[in-house]
Amino acid sequence: MAFIELVTEKIVKTPLVSKDKPDVLRELVQILKDAGQIEDYEAVLKAVQEREGKMSTGLQDGIAVPHGKTDAVSGLTLAIGISPAGIDYDALDGEPSKLFFLLVAPPDQSGPHVMALSDIAKLARSKAFCRALVHAESAQEVVELIRGD
């Protein structure tokens, strides 16, 4: 399934309420749980935390892509969180992260995971697009921007 097909209002939250990195991870996984995308919150959170423990997934230009692999999902799942104020996420450039794309996939499905990371990287190249996402006032607006509606 393509990244764009995963983007629905129920997996988008703006603004996030979290103020720090551990809370962001919990909040993003809760988005998946609330959307009916996962059943085992703890297993998914553990997978994401373990991956984050190896190296921060805070990239640059306000983008973070926390991700993990676990048997607790049957296919690629996505949650998008936006923090207009930014959150210290140990990003590569030292700047606060504002756009969070959580990806969780089964250990045996690397292809969709890598493709989604590539799609996110393409979106992130446009600073104007990223600014528009950060300033989106609703999940619906985020979905429309990403889908190009």
Query: Cα–Cα distance between 11 and 32 in angstroms, integer?
Result: 6
Among residues 51, 67, 69, 113, the one annotated as catalytic is 67
Q: Record the tokens describing residue 87, joined without a space.
A: 């959150």
The answer to whether residue 67 is catalytic is yes
* Nearest residue to 11 (alpha-carbon basis) of 41, 32, 27: 32
First-to-last alpha carbon distance for the chain, in angstroms, is: 19
Residues with catalytic function: 67
